[in-house]
Amino acid sequence: MTLRPISFNPTFALLAFALLLGTQPPGLEAQAQTLPKVHLVATGGTISNRTGGRLTAEELAKSMPGLERFATLSFEQFANVASSQLTLEQWLRLARRVNELFASDKELAGIVVTSGTDTLEETAFFLHLTVRDPRPVVIVGSMRNPSTLGYEGAANLLEGVRVAAEPASRDKGALVVLNDEINSARDVQKTDAVRLQTFRSREYGQLGVVDSDRVVYFRQPVQRHTARSEFDITNVKELPRVDVVMVYQGAPGDLIKAAVDAGAKGVVIAGAGAGAISGTQNEGLDYAAQKGVFIVTSTRTGSGRIAAPRSQQPATAASGNSTTTPNPAQERRRQFTIAAEDHAPLKARVLLMLALTSTKDRAEIQRMFMEY
């Protein structure tokens, strides 16, 4: 019988020796404790709105049972107000802060932002377009406050941390996590005033779920966002005013005129059906175009796509040997009208504000609505 030499494995030997001694070998304890780094940015909202005083970022961080299993968490207090009280200037500062955090810490797995739910979908979409990093920024909130029976804030927050720490969350843009569900900031809408399952992504459906065993994704957003976004707000001091006007039977055009006179650079029309308007709104839209104000046509229905015209050439109608000269007001309006594609009115407003920080070219803005 031939005896073969046994190769010596130092790591194996160290592990065996440590087991015999009943101790853990050097380095293994540190390896076991290596967890993804996640940073919490608290802005307020119902999730922190405790009777007698709002919960701080530190208190929110301490409210999550089992956090130590999923991530190493750091935190900061950006604001502590209702979401509807966040200003556009704070939006800009928040996006800049998230970008700064990612740029300064390459080891950071993701960022969680707390927000009130009333305007969460708008804040989330703004971050979806202005955070220029592939790592996830996860927006969480709660429908019940900390003093209410059934408060779900701690659970939503822990799930948000898990999503932010999950490698599969990269390259999906800003994510909204509530009620065990992951939705894209681009598509999600608040659909019920009080129910926990309020956030829905229209007919597109959720991106994934947060279950007890793992984070699971079912689909991937394909429109441009975050790392592929062209919107750089580093030096943007102020977002241009854009107003949303609803279409309803007999709606007056003077509301559009008032918005224009008050300084609006854009108007989003929440149209009936596939973009129909009513009352004297045509006059208001003609007035807006005359003043160089951009008009985005969207739908108030909650879903559906408003397509851009195939051609922006002046319209003529031939009948025999006669040609109808285009109406100058209608032609002027074409030059300032953009189709919202499938963006809901609130999301169209956010996108138009950002578009107007970089261009006043109608074709370029239309391109942005088609790509984002």
**What are 51's two structure tokens?**
């009777």
Q: What is the pLDDT of residue 314?
A: 42
3-state DSSP call for residue 300? coil
Domain end among 181, 203, 228:
228
Tell me, what CATH number does 294's domain have? 3.40.50.40
Q: Which domain holds residue 291?
A: 242-371
- Measure the CA–CA gap between 157 and 192, rounded to whole angstroms: 20
When comparing pLDDT for 240 and 315, which is higher? 240
Q: What is the pLDDT of residue 307?
A: 95
Q: Is residue 236 part of a domain?
A: no
**What are 226's two structure tokens?**
């975050």
Catalytic position from the list 23, 43, 46, 297: 46
Q: Is residue 4 part of a domain?
A: no
**Shared domain check, 147 and 98:** yes
Tell me, what CATH number does 114's domain have? 3.40.50.1170
Band the pLDDT of 132: cuts 50, 70, 90: very high
Say how many domains are in the chain. Answer: 2
Q: Is residue 9 part of a domain?
A: no
Q: Is residue 194 part of a domain?
A: yes
**Shared domain check, 64 and 213:** yes
pLDDT above 90 covers a percentage of the chain that reads: 85
Angle at 309 between CA 304 and CA 312, to 5 degrees: 155
**Shared domain check, 253 and 210:** no
Q: What is the mean pLDDT of residues 186-201?
A: 97
Amino acid symbol at 113: V
Q: What is the pLDDT of residue 309?
A: 81
Q: What is the pLDDT of residue 15?
A: 39
Q: How far is CA 31 from CA 71, 97, 237, in A?
A: 14, 31, 45
Q: How far is CA 372 from the centre of its chain?
A: 12
Residue 180: CB atoms within 10 Å = 17
When comparing pLDDT for 321 and 82, which is higher? 82
- Helix or strand (DSSP H, E) at 28: helix 28-32
Q: What is the pLDDT of residue 325?
A: 64
**Shared domain check, 142 and 35:** yes
One-character DSSP codes across 182-242 = EEETTT-EE--SS-TT-EE-GGG--SEEE-SS-EEE-----S--GGG-----TT---PPPE
Q: What is the mean pLDDT of residues 21-34?
A: 50
Band the pLDDT of 330: cuts 50, 70, 90: confident
Q: What is the pLDDT of residues 296-311, one digit of tens each?
A: 999 999 999 999 987 5
Q: Is residue 212 part of a domain?
A: yes
Q: Is the predicted pLDDT of residue 106 greater than 50, yes or no?
A: yes
Q: What is the pLDDT of residue 23?
A: 46
pLDDT above 70 covers a percentage of the chain that reads: 87
**Shared domain check, 43 and 160:** yes
Q: What is the pLDDT of residues 138-166, one digit of tens each?
A: 999 999 999 999 999 999 999 999 999 99
Q: Is residue 20 part of a domain?
A: no
Q: What is the pLDDT of residue 191?
A: 97
Q: What is the pLDDT of residue 361?
A: 98
Q: Is residue 41 part of a domain?
A: yes
Q: What is the pLDDT of residue 33?
A: 62
Q: Is the predicted pLDDT of residue 372 greater than 90, yes or no?
A: yes
Q: What is the pLDDT of residue 328?
A: 84
When comparing pLDDT for 58 and 23, which is higher? 58
Q: What is the pLDDT of residue 310?
A: 74
**Shared domain check, 147 and 294:** no
Q: What is the pLDDT of residue 329?
A: 80
Q: What is the pLDDT of residues 256-279, one digit of tens each?
A: 999 999 999 999 999 999 999 999
**Shared domain check, 270 and 218:** no
One-character DSSP codes across 104-160 = H-TTEEEEEEE--SSSHHHHHHHHHHH--SSS-EEEE--SS-TTSTT--HHHHHHHH
Domain end among 164, 194, 228:
228
- Measure the CA–CA gap between 214 and 173, rounded to whole angstroms: 20
- Measure the CA–CA gap between 25 and 22, rounded to whole angstroms: 9
Domain end among 181, 197, 228:
228
Q: What is the pLDDT of residue 236?
A: 97
* Neighbour-count burial for 269-292, b at 16+ CB within 10 Å, e otherwise: bbbbeebebebbbeebbbbbbeee
Q: Is residue 16 part of a domain?
A: no
**Shared domain check, 135 and 44:** yes
**Shared domain check, 289 and 202:** no
Active site residue 325: no
**Shared domain check, 350 and 265:** yes
For the chain, give the mean pLDDT. Answer: 90
Q: What is the pTM of this model?
A: 0.88
**Shared domain check, 162 and 40:** yes
- Measure the CA–CA gap between 105 and 87, rounded to whole angstroms: 27
The β-bridge partners of 81 are 44
**Shared domain check, 97 and 152:** yes
Q: Which of 32-41, 46-55, 117-126, 340-349 has the lowest mean pLDDT?
A: 32-41
Q: What is the pLDDT of residues 50-100, one digit of tens each?
A: 999 999 999 999 999 999 999 999 999 999 999 999 999 999 999 999 999
